[in-house]
Amino acid sequence: MAADAGGGRAVSAALHWLGASEAVRAFAAKTVSPVELLTALLERIDRLDPALNVFIRRDDQAAMAAARVAEAEIAAGRIRGPLHGVPVGIKDIIDVAGLPTTCHSAVRAGHVAAADAVCVAKLRQAGAIIMGKLSTHEFAIGGPSFDLPFPPARNAWNRDHHPGGSSSGSGSGVAAGFFPLALGTDTGGSIRNPASACGIVGLKPTYGLVSRRGVFPLAFSLDHVGPMTRTVADNALLLDALAGHDPQDGGSAVAPRGHYAGRLERGVRGLRVGFVRHFHETDLIADPEVAAALEGVARTLAAEGADVRAVTLPTLGEFAAVNRIILTSEAWSIHAPWLRARPGDYGQLGRQRLMAGAFLQAGDLMAAQRRRKEMIAEVEAVLRDVDVLLCASSMEPASRIEDAEATGRTYPRQARTPFNVTGHPALAMMAGLSAGGLPLSVQFAGRYFDEATVFQVARAWERAAGTDRMHPSL
């Protein structure tokens, strides 16, 4: 086992950037144990989380008990699954048996989950260790907010800035080295926004690939559960554990799954990459540093042998309007009883955003759904001519968290909602660092259930740019 050269701190310093894939190999080689890794992470969380607010509820005792069991199983030659002994954090709209699912809201105070969500159960089956529940925007929509029962998570690269949302604790915690894996959810970009702001890898899988049973819904036809990690390889590993048909989730798909990491090191030679330039050049003018970073990604992939060509999709304005109408209509159908009976239990932002659905009419929703079908057809037509799409994620780095005006202005400046509308898989990751030391981002999207090709392209960029070795100084 790894030596603790300084009463615990040396182990922590050596281990907090260990990825899931690396941890599994280290466990097998008996150079690190699950208990040592978890101990190091808990010490780091003790030291740093008071300034970052990643956790709503830690479950240290249960996690350590699970780590000890995992260690004993390794010693006995028994491995439960591909994530055996690996710690993971869970966004607090996802049920973990015996723990509160607060959705970061006073509305859910006192609620305790009776059973694991399907995605959490799959993690346990794969051998993962659940560390606790993570900060989110209220009900995955209202934030970052300071009028809720828990403080908002902050960005690990600079705690004065927001970490994106709504999977804010997941993004900040992965970036900070609190855990190598986290679960997030994505209805309008809520995995990919924190991945962009925090410089990690976040995937919104194909709609229906991962069960949402046991996850508090925001909008049934747009909601996704997905993996958040520091590396592309770990993202593929986590998706392998999560994917699969669930007949009790009405949106679950029967589709081929698994082996998402099979082509990670094949490179991009011969692949056709469609660069959606108009998203950041005309639809929403990106910050110059973001635009330059996107050009750098395109040049790098071309140098690696990809055929990079410009393509055209519907405008971001159209996608945003369709997403907004569907999301707020469906969210209102869920929250209307609480909003009528106890509006004061919501934070201001959450209440304001959810109430918008009360003013929409059936005709608005039907028109949005008709346009949605047309948009899906248009994106599908483009994906018949290219293998993967390259485009912006966030149009600028994260704003200061206490600057409500700047956050309100910059949050909608993104290109993530198109792929919630269409359901195609989309991955956001670091494209570089701004002059101010904050992550810049890029997004790759692919054909339905072709996450393997998205990962292949993302890994080619990661390998060329070294983004998997870039971490905040904490």
User: What residues are paired with 133 via a beta bridge?
Assistant: 57, 90
SS (H, E, C) 381-448: HHHCCCCEEEECCECCCCCECCCHHHHHHHCCCECCHHHHHHCCCEEEEEEEECCCCCEEEEEEEECC
Give the catalytic positions in this structure.
91, 166, 190
Q: Are strands 272-275 and 388-391 parallel, antiparallel or unpaired?
A: parallel
186 sits in which H/E element = strand 181-186
d(CA 170, CA 173): 5
Cβ–Cβ < 8 Å for 87, 180 = yes
Buried b (16+ CB within 10 A) or exposed e, 22-34: bbbebbeeeebbb
Question: What's the rounded Cα separation, in Å, for the pair 311 and 79?
Answer: 46
DSSP 87-152: EEEEETTB--TTSB--TTSGGGTT-B-SS--HHHHHHHHTT-EEEEEE--SBTTTB-S-SSSSSPP
Look at strands 129-134 and 55-58 and give their pairing.
antiparallel
Strand partners, 94: 215
